[in-house]
Structure 1
């Protein structure tokens, strides 16, 4: 039981560090809200090594903590919407067993952006922000692919390590 708490603490700390590093990266994609999603690397690894419940807990803890530290209440709401939808889809696809780590991650990246866009539409009470959808889908695919490639490589290297 002690190892579980220690591993979870390490994963949470790494996710927060990745969130902070991502804030420091001065990459502007021309569309508000597009980020690399570096912290999602830890979510994907947790999903594959420990399961969906642990990945959900890590995702929520990371989003809330990083929102309070680096953002605001709106960033927490947007991130929770994207994170929960993303994780639900990733857990479903992983459970099917017919998707690679990269495929699962790409679906997660796309769904994260869809979840955030849905909240944005509700907040501004218009569907006009939906014109961002094509750009967000492409961005989700590209960032999901990058996170999927790195996650797959990390998972290969830690396959003999039991986290839980």
Structure 2
């Protein structure tokens, strides 16, 4: 929220403070998302189908999207994915995640602007779009379109994970509104 300027020096200081606050907020949220990525990486979870996971770090990006902005959510996602790629997933894991996150965030931002969907509905769409983005990256890297035969499996897993993540984010957003 902008404050009325008292002098030219005060305005530039407030702008610098705002930028510093944004950087600090993004860094804290990215660190939280990275912790969630780590927790998910160490939990022994094998649904029997490769590539399926809950994606609990996406709660942070979804809360950032609703409480801050799409730019904040994008920054949190990119930072988390790059660092998690270096630590846990490798280069190809990071590429798949970046592709999925980009398409997912674009879709969620577009749906959010309509004011027609709940946070859980938008998250569900984000989960499905994330899986679609990962398949697109895989198809490009492998130069094989048959990878899309795997989409029905990822469709349902993305829907379920998206709903769970969306419900969690909705609870967090409601609690943050009371602060």
* TM-score past 0.5 threshold: yes
Q: Distance in 1 between matches of 2:75 and 2:161?
A: 22
Q: Distance in 2 between matches of 1:60 and 1:71?
A: 14
User: TM-score scaled by structure 2?
Assistant: 0.86
Of the candidates 47, 61, 82, which is equivalent to residue 79 of structure 2? 61
Aligned to 1:6: 24
Determine helix, strand or coil for the equivalent of 1:144: helix
Aligned residues: 161
- Cα distance, 1:105–1:134 mapped onto 2, change above 3 Å: same
- Name whichever of 46-55 and 26-35 sits farther off: 26-35
Runs of 4+ that moved beyond 6 A: none
Return the structure number with greater relative CO, CA threshold 8 A, min gap 6.
Answer: 1
Determine helix, strand or coil for the equivalent of 1:136: helix
- Name whichever of 50-59 and 139-148 sits farther off: 50-59
- Cα distance, 1:6–1:160 mapped onto 2, change above 3 Å: farther
User: TM-score scaled by structure 1?
Assistant: 0.94
Flag the structure with larger Rg.
2
Q: Distance in 2 between matches of 1:141 and 1:49?
A: 23
1:121 Cα deviation from its structure 2 partner: 1.3
Q: Over aligned residues, Cα RMSD in angstroms?
A: 1.1
Aligned to 1:121: 139
Of the candidates 146, 152, 156, which is equivalent to residue 134 of structure 1? 152
